[in-house]
Amino acid sequence: TACHHSTQPTPKASPTAAEDCRTIGHDAGETTICDQPQTVVTLGPNLLELLLTLDVQPVGHAEYFPFPIDVFDQPAQQIPYLGERLTGQPRNVGTAHDPALEVIAELKPDLILGDTLKNQDEYALLSQIAPTLLLTYDEPQKDWSADLQTVAQALNLSDRAEAVISKFQQRQMGLRQEIAKKVVQTPKVLLLLGQRLDQEIRIETRHSACGGLLEELGFEVIVPTTLKESSEESHAISLEALPQLDADLIIIEGFNSDITANAKDPIEGQLQVLKQQWQTNEIAQSLPASQNGQVYFTTVYLCHALLGPIGTEIFLEQLQQQLNAQAIDAKNSP
């Protein structure tokens, strides 16, 4: 019912001597948390997604890209997709890869949520500031619901997590069925990732997050014949090789590592250069999908950062809108 299927059992809290304390197992070990945390810091949009899913607001947050501000004072414009769900103005605590420990300490949090791959080196120091959970959130075969339950246990909100999961499953069933009806029109999908066409672009396989989701919907995620047996999530590919692939639909995940707080629209800013280059590139425009209006741009956030219920729902809703628009255009064309 999500991007991936869990390969790990649901973590369970172990009671400690104190009745209001519990020991939470996570990807970096075990952490004891007492009472109900009220001030939470998130180190990355993936962790912020889980927190907001449980209707909890952060006091501090770290994005993937650096922002030259102390406070996210306009979160809806500064934090892609999730900012509009923030009711306050969290402190900027650096980046997910390089959190500002002094700023985090000033906030006196009682829970820190971090990423195993990005924050392992700081784990000991973070744990001195507050109880810290590290989650390996970007494993393709890991179900987001297991991480959500871990965070919910830490927050004493396990019942809320179960309700969220159930509601998500019900809501997604109809949406997926609607999208599946469109698969017959554009069954073969080419999934690309890049910042600029004149730099490295990558082709994603069915083993990637959104590649797996698209295959669940009935699409065929196509790759060169030489890569069909690959278990990797993505591979570098040249622009010149794309005409050799028979794609009905192309989905391009764009990103821009230069995004700052000065960007008027951080989501559009992720895609602007790539869109412009695609529209003016001779090879890109020669592809049947381009000529048929079957090219869809999205951001790297949805397939690589927001793998939980919020990101999955946004990705599916946008895909449905794109497919519906294509169907209308095809119907109106002479």
The type of residue at 105 is A
83 pLDDT above the threshold of 70: yes
For the segment 9-31, the average pLDDT, to the nearest whole number, is 70
Residue 255 banded pLDDT, cuts 50, 70, 90: confident
Extract the tokens encoding 212. Answer: 């797996």
Binning pLDDT at 50, 70 and 90, where does residue 137 land? Answer: confident
pLDDT band with cut points at 50, 70 and 90 for residue 263 = low
Residue 329: what pLDDT? Answer: 54
State yes or no: pLDDT of 2 exceeds 60.
Answer: no
Question: Residue 14: pLDDT above 50?
Answer: no
pLDDT tens digits, 168-202: 888 878 888 888 888 888 899 999 999 899 889 99
Q: What is the pLDDT of residue 174?
A: 83
DSSP for 89-150, please give it. -PEEEEESSSB-HHHHHHH--SEEEEEHHHHTTTHHHHHHHS-EEEE-TT-TT--HHHHHHH
Residues whose CB is less than 8 angstroms from the CB of residue 117 and which lie 6 or more positions away in sequence, other chains included: 136, 138
Token representation of residue 184: 């017959």
What local confidence, expressed as pLDDT, does residue 265 receive? 67
Q: At what angle do helices 45-53 and 144-154 cross, to 10 degrees?
A: 70
What tokens were used for 165? 């999961």
The model's pLDDT over 294-310, given as tens digits with 9 standing for 90+, comes to: 999 998 888 888 988 99
- Measured between alpha carbons, how far is 259 from 270 in angstroms, rounded to an integer? 7
Question: What's the mean per-residue pLDDT of the chain?
Answer: 87
* Percentage of the residues of the chain whose pLDDT score is greater than 90: 63
Among candidate residues 12, 10, 5, 85, the one with its CA nearest the CA of residue 53: 85
pLDDT of res. 8: 39
CA distance 69 to 67: 6
Give the span between the Cα atoms of 134 and 146, in whole angstroms.
Answer: 13
Looking at residue 327, what is its pLDDT?
56
pLDDT bracket for residue 101 (50, 70, 90)? very high
pLDDT for 176 equals 81
- Can you give the pTM of this predicted structure? 0.85
Distance CA 310, CA 123 (A): 27
